Structure 1
Amino acid sequence: MVDMILVTGATGTIGSEVVRQLAARGEKVRALTRDPAGAQVPPGVETAPGHHRDRASVAAAMAGAQAAFLVGVFGPDDAEHDRGLVEAAKAAGVRRIVKLGAIGTGDPRLGRFGTWHLHGEEAVRASGLEWTILRPSAFASNTLSWAAAVREGIPAPNMMGAGKQGVVDPRDVAGVATAALLDPRHAGRTYTLTGPETLSAHEQAAVLAEVLARPVPLHDLTPEERREQLLASGLNETYADGLLVTARFIHEGGNDVVTGDVEEVLGRPARTYREWAEDHKGAFA
């Protein structure tokens, strides 16, 4: 047992599940969140106010922690804050860190998007601490963005064309993070986390249609439509253009990758997209 584990990004897709899994094991957990009063965390979990871009709040939350789960990149302007999380952990005496990154980090075909996590990864490796880096593929939960369209019976937007990805269940990513936070045997490892198969968006839609027993049609967006939707969602042009490069990379097969890292760490096969869909079909009802 580690005396105290800090989880940043504690209300996000992966962070919230890391908090849940650690708490279920009886670990002492502190959740960094911008809204401690509104955060839904398991009983016994501490909350600390703060944000990865607010260095003082991060430093305060790190105090007394022996391990930390670091989520610091949400866009192209976060590299400095990604490094800052590592620096704050080291200054606070944290001895073990697990960084959440992304598959393809460092691949030149991804352009600037492929560099977003590089600065943080370099800081992690140079920290002198026990470290583990996680590079997950596309989350199964990304298809929750289709839920409104599915409920309305209209085609959901497909941003990624026909490219296949090793779609991974967020619960498996969190499971690997939890193992790395608790077990020093994962120190010095970089894990690329995927599901057991690669699937295109249309193949995911077909699985979801079987689970829901109703059609799940998709509308394949043109590059122009993708950019328009990204900008309309509030993203700046740099972020939108980076995501368009990613979409092209996926469409051309760059993310058609399966690894055995989830099974190596967890001692069981990675969950399938169908398993995720069965467990979350209520979100589409």
Structure 2
Amino acid sequence: MRRAEISYRSGPRNGTVVPMIIITGATGTIGGEIVRLLSARGERVRAITRRPDAARFPAGVEVVGGDYSDLPGMQRALAGAVAVFIVGVLGPEYAEADRALVRAARDAGARRIVKLSAIGTGDPALGRVGTWHLPGEEAVRAAGVDWTILRPSSFASNTLSWAPALHSGLPVSNLTGSGAQGVVDPRDVSAVAAEALSSSAHSGRVYTLTGPELLTTHDQAAALAAALGRPVEVVDIAEAAARDHMLAAGATPEFVDGALAGQAFARAGGNAVLTDDVAAVLGRDPRAYADWVGDHVSAFDRPPVSSDWRAY
């Protein structure tokens, strides 16, 4: 992997800025896979991350540090942008950061912006949390460039948060009751994003990205249990207990209120949505949750017994 300075010069002879597809949040679940997909196609890709020293990408990918709180630094990192994938920071206090990042991408010359949002955005029934992505969505629509908005359902990878409990022989927590969701493989979200970044065919589209089936937490636990060959117990968590836990972990009261409203929305069936958007973009069916589990089951298995198991 070749790390680049902020100037992103194409070579020492002319010092010109090389046009790039630029991925923010590039070491995240979605962003990292987009980088790999585009690089495999031979696209010129620049990955922006807060942890450039820890980034591991294919050779030829330019990697630079960037933080949404440092707008001048982000503006420099976006130099030469042809297309930009934007991962906003979720929360009520980050609305202006999302808008500013979109403006910076446009001002850098990007002709195409793909914004990662969330299912239910703008739905009044979702309450305040349903507005958190709206400033970024509105900024993208008003930027005067080709735009695509992605609203994925619950990620299959969210269940990785169950791993510590399973390693300790504990049940997994459930805040959504019997509410079912169109759980989507994040690799499908990344693949759709890569298509939208590469082609104007998806301009002006809002894609709600789901998997092929509606699943409850208990359904996901059953799929994981089948892959592990042992039971996966589920325990329902009271909203008050979840609130106390999140507040103790340092979340703001407003964020906690929004997050719990999102869980209540799902619990009431608000996210029981399936679409064919993944298939329409990729020309194949979306991956099932069981497929994702099969590829990641080792993350849930019991940690090896050793003197340093706590580092697992």
Q: TM-score with structure 2 length normalisation?
A: 0.89
Inter-partner Cα distance in structure 2 for 1:45 and 1:100 = 21
Corresponding residue for residue 180 of structure 2: 164
The answer (yes or no) to whether the contact 2:246–2:256 under 8 Å persists in 1 is yes
* Residue 132 (1) aligns with residue 148 (2): yes
Name the SS for the 2:75 alignment partner.
helix
The one-letter code sitting in structure 2 at the alignment partner of 1:132 is T
Name the SS for the 2:53 alignment partner.
coil
The answer (yes or no) to whether the contact 1:161–1:247 under 8 Å persists in 2 is no
Inter-partner Cα distance in structure 2 for 1:258 and 1:280 = 23
Inter-partner Cα distance in structure 1 for 2:268 and 2:225 = 25
Corresponding residue for residue 12 of structure 2: none
Q: How far is the alpha carbon of 1:42 from its aligned partner?
A: 2.0
Inter-partner Cα distance in structure 1 for 2:68 and 2:111 = 19
* Residue 152 (1) aligns with residue 153 (2): no
Q: What do the CA deviations read for 1:75-110 (whole angstroms, capped 9, x no partner)? A: 221110111111001111111110000000001111
Q: How far is the alpha carbon of 1:73 from its aligned partner?
A: 2.5
The answer (yes or no) to whether the contact 1:5–1:67 under 8 Å persists in 2 is yes
Name the SS for the 2:81 alignment partner.
coil
Q: How far is the alpha carbon of 1:194 from its aligned partner?
A: 0.3
The answer (yes or no) to whether the contact 1:155–1:219 under 8 Å persists in 2 is yes
* Residue 221 (1) aligns with residue 248 (2): no
- What aligned pairs does 1:204-219 form with structure 2 within 5 A after superposition? 204-219=220-235
Corresponding residue for residue 266 of structure 1: 282
Inter-partner Cα distance in structure 2 for 1:175 and 1:164 = 24
The answer (yes or no) to whether the contact 2:24–2:86 under 8 Å persists in 1 is yes
| Runs of 4+ off more than 2 Å | none
RMSD: 1.1
- Work out the number of aligned pairs and report it: 284
Q: How far is the alpha carbon of 1:3 from its aligned partner?
A: 4.0
Corresponding residue for residue 88 of structure 1: 104
- What aligned pairs does 1:31-46 form with structure 2 within 5 A after superposition? 31-46=47-62
Identity within the alignment, % = 58
Name the SS for the 1:191 alignment partner.
strand
Corresponding residue for residue 76 of structure 1: 92
- What aligned pairs does 1:161-240 form with structure 2 within 5 A after superposition? 161-240=177-256
Larger radius of gyration: 2
The match for 1:246 among 255, 262, 279 is 262
The answer (yes or no) to whether the contact 2:20–2:82 under 8 Å persists in 1 is yes
Inter-partner Cα distance in structure 2 for 1:88 and 1:3 = 15
Note the residue ranges of structure 1 that are not aligned, 5 or more in a row.
none
Inter-partner Cα distance in structure 1 for 2:57 and 2:245 = 33
Note the residue ranges of structure 2 that are not aligned, 5 or more in a row.
1-17, 302-312
The match for 1:97 among 92, 110, 113 is 113
* Residue 8 (1) aligns with residue 19 (2): no
The match for 1:109 among 125, 133, 136 is 125
Inter-partner Cα distance in structure 2 for 1:80 and 1:115 = 13
The answer (yes or no) to whether the contact 1:3–1:27 under 8 Å persists in 2 is no
Q: Select between 187-196 and 76-85 the one with higher mean Cα deviation.
A: 76-85
The answer (yes or no) to whether the contact 1:141–1:169 under 8 Å persists in 2 is yes
* Residue 25 (1) aligns with residue 18 (2): no
Corresponding residue for residue 295 of structure 2: 279
The one-letter code sitting in structure 2 at the alignment partner of 1:98 is V
Q: TM-score with structure 1 length normalisation?
A: 0.97
